[in-house]
Amino acid sequence: MIQASCSLLGYGIDDDDDRSWRMDDYAGAIARWCPGCGDHAILTAVERLLETEQLPPERTVFVSGIGCSSRFPHYLTTYGFHGIHGRALPIATGVKLRRPDLHVFVVMGDGDCCSIGAGHWIHAVRYNVNMVALMLDNGIYGLTKNQTSPTTPQHYASNTQPKGSFLMPLNPMSTTLGVSNASFVAQTADWIPAHLYATIHAAYQHRGFSFVRVLQRCPQYTSDIFEEAVRNPKMTEMLVHPDGVETPELDKIYTNKRVHDPRDLDTARHLAEPSDHVRLGIFYRNETKERYEELRAQRVHTAQERIARLNEEFDKYAV
């Protein structure tokens, strides 16, 4: 499909590309996240994905917003666009709209996606442009040093709400599943590398907008919010299905499993509601949803074709 749309757009794709890449080839600057930050594991999983899929670095673009997580592109050797707070998705949409041949990833934080960029998030789900969107959710604004985010647990203290956050947190999974045209919605955690990798791999393979919420530990400000889930595997409920994420190597640790067919949207919405469990896996997947960049694909016109057509257009206004 990508090949087809690229030739349609006139961009040469080298079919006999005999280069090969190792994980190290994708590494960029040394990551400057805090020791123990969940982002390190996510970066490693992404590098592994790039190697597995052998994505040419020059045809891979990581777009991010602002925040700890948004430093992500700097730590890779692909094309990267470290943009402005909350607005990674419009940039990524623009990239993919005119260059469907590029592999586009978006990395954003909970403040980025669910607060300042919430409008873009809702509409990106609806556009269903083929890209992977990773929302690294540590429940806090870290880079600006400990302010309440939309996903901070209620009553949890921060510098802006020292007596504890006033409101119930926003539920990113329910919200995403509630948007019409949602096509891939999954949740994973930074502390389970096998599941993390399997989930973003499935996200990459999905054709459409793949939204992955990664529960991410912040050792500095919210070290305790996932502590219990990390310590006690029983608290985690793995959503499993032949069409979902299967991680047999984890079976002995994560014994709490639920079979969930990712085609079942009603159940997905039910499972996304708050519960005593941390549910991980693919909540929903539907490849039949229309992809905006395909709806809007145009063929390339030569300069001469355009001039001929412009002249026709001017004829309409000739006096």
When the beta carbons of 28 and 193 are compared against other proteins, the nearer one is 28
In the complex, the smallest distance separating the C-beta of residue 215 from other proteins, rounded to whole angstroms, is 26
20 or 288: CB nearest other proteins:
20
Q: Look up residue 116 and give its two tokens.
A: 């300042």
Residue 44 CB neighbours (<10 A):
17
Token pair for 210: 């793949």
Work out how close the CB of 290 gets to other proteins at its nearest, in angstroms, rounded to a whole number.
15
What minimum distance in Å lies between the beta carbon of 307 and other proteins? 5
Nearer to other proteins, 166 or 314 (CB): 314
Nearer to other proteins, 76 or 278 (CB): 76
Written as one letter, the residue type at 141 is Y
Q: Give the residue with the Cβ less far from other proteins, 37 or 91.
A: 91
Q: d(Cα 153, Cα 171) in Å, to the nearest integer?
A: 10
Q: Tell me which residues touch other proteins (CB under 8 A).
A: 10-12, 28-29, 56-59, 61-63, 66, 73-74, 76-84, 87, 89-99, 101-102, 119-120, 122-123, 296, 298-301, 303-304, 306-307, 309-311, 313-314, 317-319
Q: Closest separation between CB of residue 112 and other proteins, Å?
A: 13
Q: Minimal distance in Å, beta carbon 170 to other proteins?
A: 18
The CA distance from 258 to 268, in Å, is: 12
Residue that has been written with the tokens 């990798």 in this structure: 197
Distance, in Å, from the CA atom of 269 to the CA atom of 4, rounded to the nearest integer, reads 35
**Helix orientation angle between 118-127 and 88-98, rounded to the nearest 10 degrees:** 30
| Least spacing, CB of residue 292 vs other proteins, in Å | 9
Task: Give Cα separations from 198 to 48, 206, 232, 242 (angstroms).
Answer: 10, 12, 21, 13
Q: What burial class does residue 305 get, using C-beta atoms within 10 Å of its C-beta: 0-12 exposed, 13-18 middle, 19+ buried?
A: exposed
CA distance 158 to 289: 40
The residue among 92 and 214 lying less far from other proteins, judged by its C-beta, is 92
Residue whose token pair is 């005119």:
98
And the tokens for 163?
């007596």
User: Are residues 154 and 165 in contact, defined by beta-carbon separation less than 8 angstroms?
Assistant: yes
Considering the complex, what minimum distance in angstroms separates the CB of residue 217 from other proteins?
Answer: 24
Nearer to other proteins, 117 or 244 (CB): 117
